[in-house]
Structure 1
């Protein structure tokens, strides 16, 4: 099973860049759009009675413009109406809704004053006849405590008298239009912010949540013990790297689980081998002991032979138990070492002397040659190195397959290493089995091994000890002619002090 991340047309942007861009958009875009809105509405309202405008004077001017046009038309057609107080009162009431009041000056006197009693405007400050703005697009602005926008309409009566109608719009109070503009502006900014937030949330969600979902699915598989799947994440962002690390972890867990199963198999095979191999000497010991007890061995010579056989079989059992102990130490990397600096030539000479005596008792000849210079030295554990040689020789003796065997031991200098070659003229090992002889519990011939004894971990111990010494071990063999096992140890060399 393969868990794949979502595919895209291009390379997916990493999460850090997404956050940086999102932060920039949240800060910059609303400001830019708000500025565009602020300046845009100014142009939308120019030249239109229905549009919004941002200039405060134009906003206030708009309130009195229509009334101005109506009264101007009246002044042209029937100016006498402008002296009708009922008409003026009605128009003034309508204009108050737009913060505008009427004032009529006739023959240089205030004829009608629609200003509220709280107004601070002095009629004397109003433009005189013929001096005010003369069209709908212009007005006069009076500054001061009573800031006022003034529209002026001059008129003549039938008898030739002059008068002026003033539309006075207060600029000192809050205007409803300005409030609406502010509300619309705030709503527009909020709308922009909401749309931006929705966009950024969807953008970040699309890049993050699907990846998290895939990793969650993978984690659930691992939690349930299912390691038979593969995680594939596209791109080079943080989630891709996390997915890669997750896949590496899964692969390691799978390898560890597989290795654990293999180790358990090896342990069961070892236990089975040792149990079987222990049964053989125990059966022999039991049989010879019964022979002594039953009086079968009546002569001293026969009794001595029986006791010696029992002793030898007990030795085989002891060796099997020692192999089991060594196996547990190999499995936990707990072989104790006592490294020391020693002469390689002298050490291997001593080993050859001991082997000569031991093998002669088994009618096996030892050929020995040491080609090392006198000054050759190594750093090694003598006891564990002796175990290496003993295991190799023991393996050769075990599978010799004929009487009057021959084992050769050659020690020579190969540059930075000391090389030891242990060869025999035994049965040899097939090419199919040769790569596995250093594996724990491996047996080239289980039935033959059962007769000769041994758990199958002797050469595995050799490999472990040599590798812990920084060396290497390998083998060559020809079936029917014999086997040669090689191992090398690094020579001790003093560094020159400059």
Structure 2
């Protein structure tokens, strides 16, 4: 049985049980106070407080109508009035315009007497009706008959009643019906509210759980409110969102893994193919002279070195990517460090015919926390990447430094061929090469700048590239600067 059916059954029970108990209680009270169920009808039909109309009617019929002389017997009327007064009822008897008898309490209520209706027909009895006199309500019963000398006589019984009792007795069927309607509307509204507030969110969560189980995560769970269901909905939506993100990341990892395997296979297969070709040449006697043999052997050694270098970079990148490469940080005066490095670099660049321009600024007191060896690898990878794309007659590399609110900024610029605009944002991705041929003479392994990015990230810094195709490329490194003796 579903929760919705259980809710509906519980609300139906909440409606029917009180009504059933109300009916049973009413019947029990009737039996206790009236002796049988039939007296419930008589009690309702009675319009007098403290007496039953049937008994009053029988009293009038068997007393005054059978012995009309009693209508003028003052002694009997006084006794009858006293008996009626004990039941909160006053007696008034009128013959035409003449008052035959009037209870003492009615003598001060001439206005009330004046509102009583005229004689209608002998032997008739008018249905009880209500009259308001001042702030009091009276229930009037009228009995019309003939006196001993055949004159029309009207006997009135005036019962003072509570206004609330009068209202309830008069409108009891309407009040009872309204009570039932209110019960029904209340439970219908409550059922509707509970269905919207509880059942619908639960159904939405159930459908969402089924979609997740089927592998569909492209939806959103929208359950408002700050109650437990609202909190559950937000937690479920967060879980779905994280599952979707993890699935996207997993798919990206799988795509990267396939791409990595493809790139490694390609980059390893190229030197291996070359090595196999030269080995076959030696075995088949193509290298039939000492010079050719020596050339083939040197080529094999170079290709083996390329493979060894690629494997080393793969191993290094893997350790950096898994954050398993420890850094030995130390606070280094960065400008002297870069000056020493640039002097070593200048010697190497002179051999290749490349001019090195050094513009170190920012103050001698600048200190940066770095791992010396790892940071030098970053600088080396950037320089090697610049050298691969030198295509100008006058080759030049410029190293600049400065200090601003972002930290210490190191810029290494070249005047090479530059990078296409659409490729700039990808140059730090592993195995990415703007030059699609994957020629190691121009493209390298595709890991140099990726390794540089991992190392700089490990230093808490940022590395980025700016390039204009045909003019050159600038690689900028931003590192947190520390205060030295001259740094404010």
Question: TM-score normalized by structure 2?
Answer: 0.60
Whole-Å separation in 1 of the counterparts to 2:225 and 2:87: 68
Whole-Å separation in 2 of the counterparts to 1:355 and 1:304: 32
Aligned to 2:81: 134
Aligned to 1:213: 203
Whole-Å separation in 2 of the counterparts to 1:54 and 1:298: 139
Contact 2:429 2:449 in 1 (8 A): yes
1:203-352 to 2 correspondences below 5 Å? 203-231=193-221, 250-291=240-281, 305-352=295-342
Instruction: Specify whether residues 207 and 136 from structure 1 end up closer, same or farther in structure 2 by C-alpha distance, changes over 3 A only.
Output: farther
Whole-Å separation in 2 of the counterparts to 1:284 and 1:365: 34
Contact 1:471 1:490 in 2 (8 A): yes
Deviations 1:33-66 (A, max 9, x none): 9xxx9xxxxxxxxxxx9663999x9456557434
- Select the residue among 64, 87, 90 that pairs with 1:73: 64
Instruction: Specify whether residues 188 and 480 from structure 1 end up closer, same or farther in structure 2 by C-alpha distance, changes over 3 A only.
Output: closer
Contact 2:465 2:473 in 1 (8 A): yes
Instruction: Specify whether residues 53 and 135 from structure 1 end up closer, same or farther in structure 2 by C-alpha distance, changes over 3 A only.
Output: farther
Contact 1:399 1:426 in 2 (8 A): yes
Whole-Å separation in 1 of the counterparts to 2:389 and 2:441: 11
1:135-174 to 2 correspondences below 5 Å? 137-139=84-86
Deviations 1:241-294 (A, max 9, x none): 765665565455444433433332233222212211111222233344455556
Whole-Å separation in 2 of the counterparts to 1:54 and 1:129: 25
In the alignment, structure 1 residue 447 sits paired with structure 2 residue 437: yes
Tell me: higher relative CO, structure 1 or 2? Use CA pairs within 8 A at least 6 residues apart: 1
In the alignment, structure 1 residue 488 sits paired with structure 2 residue 470: no
- Select the residue among 372, 385, 397 that pairs with 1:395: 385
In the alignment, structure 1 residue 355 sits paired with structure 2 residue 345: yes
Contact 2:45 2:53 in 1 (8 A): no
Whole-Å separation in 2 of the counterparts to 1:276 and 1:391: 21
> Which consecutive unaligned segments of at least 5 residues does structure 2 have?
1-10, 27-40, 89-174
Deviations 1:123-173 (A, max 9, x none): xxxxx98874437844479xxxxxxxxxxxxxxxxxxxxxxxxxxxxxxxx
Contact 1:443 1:449 in 2 (8 A): no
1:422-433 to 2 correspondences below 5 Å? 422-433=412-423
Contact 1:391 1:458 in 2 (8 A): yes
- Select the residue among 47, 52, 55 that pairs with 2:44: 52
How big is the shift at 1:344? Answer: 0.8
Contact 2:388 2:442 in 1 (8 A): yes
> Which consecutive unaligned segments of at least 5 residues does structure 1 have?
1-21, 38-48, 80-127, 142-184
Deviations 1:367-418 (A, max 9, x none): 4443353322111222221221122122122333578844333334445622
How big is the shift at 1:429? Answer: 0.9
- Select the residue among 478, 484, 488 that pairs with 2:468: 478
Please report the RMSD computed on the Cα atoms of aligned residues, expressed in angstroms.
Answer: 4.6
